[in-house]
Chain A
């Protein structure tokens, strides 16, 4: 699969690394070229410095040929705009969009985007951990 990832932060870089290791054709886009330092030396994919909400940049990296697009920049609105451009202007079949704000995430989910809110997911996971009884300490187990 040809996958374009916008935003080479911790999440973007980790996702790109995993997909690249699985043999996918990965392109990473970030507005700051120094962000690519997060990618390991063995990363074989393409790195492009550019603005992901600029149609010309998206055209230049061949987004119309991509099977999937993932927007994981720090800005919810940038992710929302780029994802909709990928979907509606470039006809990318799968588009995933990270939105920190749970309300905006719900709104855009209703509008037909595949969205994820790490805020909500993280909070729910932490709550799940708290709800579970911790494993007894060794000393207690022996007693």
Chain B
């Protein structure tokens, strides 16, 4: 494939390097308007750099946008990445355009304006953090010494699939049991198998350390996720 990368900052440089090393043997061109950065690419990656403004139609002509299979705009300015991709599509009919987003909120407008793919490091890192810190965490209340058991607390989300179910119906992990439910108004109940789980109940449970994730999944996963969906 003929792939044009616009912007030879760190993202553009390593992207071009990886593409060149890929077994598919891509033809790669990198456009950069800073002469020093351009020179560095030439020295380290070979004769693949074009000095110029990647938003200028003249530079695009020279770079051969007309025969590019893919254009990837990875400068530090979202407006420049947008224009590169829009002009690539409108004027040069490039089949696939990828834009780097610096502000993740720009995703919707880029999509709307026809950019095929957007990539945001900020959004990717946020997604990682959300996985690490679920919105409804399991709070560790007490370790029961020597037994490998612990007492934990979870607040049942409004959209959890267990809302409306009876405690006896829940498929809890082995050696886990629900010991106490506190209503939203603060009333504690000792649950029987007929006790119905309500949204935003605080559930106190005994579980084994290794079953924590499975228990959290049962108590908090929304109806759309599988029982052990996210953490299982």
- Residues on A close to B: CB < 8 A? 53-56, 75-78, 80-81, 84-85, 88-89, 101, 103-104, 107, 110-111
Contacts and interface: CB of A to CB of B under 8 A. Distances in A.
B109 A55 contact: yes
Contacts of A54: 103, 105
B78 A81 contact: yes
B91 A107 contact: yes
A104 B57 contact: yes
Given A54-B103, A77-B77, A111-B90, A104 B83 contact: yes
A107 B113 contact: no
A67 B112 CA distance: 22
A101 B80 CA distance: 14
B4 interface: no
Interface in B97-122: 103, 105-106, 108-109, 112-113
Contacts of A77: 55, 77, 79-80, 82-83
B149 interface: no
Contacts, number: 54
Contacts of B83: 76-77, 80-81, 104
A56 B104 CA distance: 12
10 contacts: A53-B79, A76-B55, A77-B77, A80-B79, A80-B86, A81-B78, A84-B109, A85-B109, A89-B109, A104-B55
A88 B109 contact: yes
B183 to A, nearest CB: 38
Contact of A110 (B79, B90, B108): B90
A34 B125 CA distance: 36
A96 B138 CA distance: 53
Contacts of A89: 108-109, 112
